[in-house]
Structure 1
Amino acid sequence: MPRTRQPLPAELEPEQRRLYDAIVSGPRSGIADADGRLRGPFGPMLLSPAVGDPLQALGAALRYRSALPARAREIATLLVAHRCDSAYEWAAHVTHGRAAGLSDSEIASLRTAEPAVTDEVEIVVVRVTTSLLDGGDLPEPLVVDAERLLGPGTLFDLVTLVGYYRLLAGVLAVYRIPPG
Structure 2
Amino acid sequence: MSSRLRLLAPAELDVQQRALYAEITGGPRATGPQHFALTDAEGRLNGPFNAMLLSPELGRALQELGAAIRYRTCLTDRIRETAILVVAQAWDSAFERHAHERVGAAAGLTETELLALRDGRDPLLSDPAELAAWVFACALTSRSGALGEGEYDKARAALGERALFELSTLVGYYSTLALQLRVFAVPAPPS
Q: TM (normalized to structure 1)? A: 0.96
**Equivalent in the alignment of 2:166:** 157
**Equivalent in the alignment of 2:58:** 51
Q: Give, as a single letter, the amino acid of the residue that structure 2 aligns with 1:151.
A: G
**Equivalent in the alignment of 1:130:** 138
Deviations 1:93-140 (A, max 9, x none): 010000100010111111243222121111111110111111223211
1:70-149 paired onto structure 2 within 5 Å:
70-110=77-117, 111-134=119-142, 135-149=144-158
| Cα distance in 2, alignment partners of residues 37 and 131 from structure 1 | 36
Q: Structure 1: where are the runs of 5+ without partners?
A: none
- The DSSP-based 3-state class of the residue aligned with 2:130 is helix
| Contact map agreement 2:93 2:178 (CA 8 A) in 1 | yes
CA RMSD of aligned residues (A): 1.1
How far off is 1:86 after superposition? Answer: 0.2
| Contact map agreement 2:86 2:120 (CA 8 A) in 1 | no
Deviations 1:54-108 (A, max 9, x none): 0000000001111111001111101110110000000100100001000101111
| Cα distance in 2, alignment partners of residues 61 and 173 from structure 1 | 23
Q: Give, as a single letter, the amino acid of the residue that structure 2 aligns with 1:107.
A: L
**Equivalent in the alignment of 1:168:** 177
| Cα distance in 2, alignment partners of residues 133 and 159 from structure 1 | 10
| Cα distance in 2, alignment partners of residues 178 and 91 from structure 1 | 10
| Cα distance in 2, alignment partners of residues 157 and 73 from structure 1 | 10
- The DSSP-based 3-state class of the residue aligned with 1:34 is coil
Q: TM (normalized to structure 2)? A: 0.91
**Equivalent in the alignment of 2:38:** 31
Count the aligned residue pairs: 180
More deviation, 111-120/31-40? 111-120
Q: Give, as a single letter, the amino acid of the residue that structure 2 aligns with 1:120.
A: P
Q: Give, as a single letter, the amino acid of the residue that structure 2 aligns with 1:106.
A: E
| Cα distance in 2, alignment partners of residues 168 and 112 from structure 1 | 19
| Cα distance in 2, alignment partners of residues 49 and 138 from structure 1 | 35
Q: Structure 2: where are the runs of 5+ without partners?
A: 31-36
| Cα distance in 1, alignment partners of residues 64 and 16 from structure 2 | 15
